[in-house]
Amino acid sequence: MLTLFVTFLKLGAFIFGSGHALANAMQHEIVDKRGWLTAEQFQTGWASGNVLPGPIAPKVVAYVGYQQQGALGAVVATVAYLLPSVGAMTLLAAAFTSEIRGLKAAVRGIKPAVLAVLVDACLSFTGVSIPKGAAVAEHWLPVTVVMSGVVLSIGGMWWLGHASGWGNGMHLLTDMRAVAVFAIAITALVFLRVDTIYVMLGAGVVGLSYLAF
């Protein structure tokens, strides 16, 4: 039970995004690393969660917890997963109210990386496998799919800049740091298989550079 709590506490604290952006990181932890479910069982739980009302991630967490420890496991897993979000949102609300520039800068750095996570999650669920190194040239089709996702995500960066109220909607495209974070995140997640946690933490660190210049 303690392992269940700690695992979902970590997932809740270090996975960024929403909905299907969480799928890849959750599947890696629950299926590949822990072996609690098979890939088919996990995807069945995810598909079942889609047909129920409300955010999908807590429903999948409850599903996994129930599979491991019954009803109590579902409660423990869900509480552990939501605890970091509730705490962080409370702190962020206070931070934005008090205009703490450091947190705002870190979030600004993380936003382009979230778009990269969305691309990676889409590839994971569609079953597209991206090779490493020289093998990329031999598998041009999945690489083309990735690049198409990159183009769509850049469009998402434009929309995100506009929706965030940062003046001109092209802000993120003209901000070289944002473009660099996005490109590095795509490379790290899709081609190098770097853990999502480290990618998001790195993006947050880059975001702090906005405080200096």
Of 62, 81, 97, which residue constitutes the final position of a domain? 97
What band does 183 get if pLDDT is binned at 50, 70 and 90? confident
Q: Which domain covers residue 71, as residue numbers?
A: 2-97
Question: Do both 75 and 113 map to the same domain?
Answer: no
Instruction: Please give the torsion angle defined by the CA atoms of residues 56, 105, 114 and 81, in that order, rounded to the nearest 10 degrees.
Output: -30
For the stretch 22-58, pLDDT in tens is 777 788 888 888 889 888 888 888 888 888 887 888 8
pLDDT given for residue 168 in this prediction: 47
Mean pLDDT, residues 125-131 taken together: 62
pLDDT at 97: 66
Q: Which residue has the tokens 């039970």?
A: 1
Mean pLDDT of 95-116: 77
CA distance 24 to 121: 5
Q: What is the 8-class DSSP label of residue 195?
A: -
91 and 110: one domain? no
Domain boundary (97, 120, 153) is at 97
Of 66, 97, 128, at which residue does a domain stop?
Answer: 97
Examine the domain organization and report whether 89 and 120 are in the same domain. Answer: no
pLDDT attached to residue 169 = 45
pTM of the predicted protein model: 0.54
**19 pLDDT above the threshold of 90:** no
Kindly give the residue spans of alpha helices, DSSP state H, lying in the chain: 2-14, 23-27, 39-50, 56-97, 101-126, 140-163, 171-174, 176-186, 196-207
pLDDT digits (tens, 9 = 90+) for 153-165: 666 666 665 555 5
Residues 139 and 88 reside in one and the same domain? no
pLDDT at 194: 83
Same domain, 133 and 169: yes
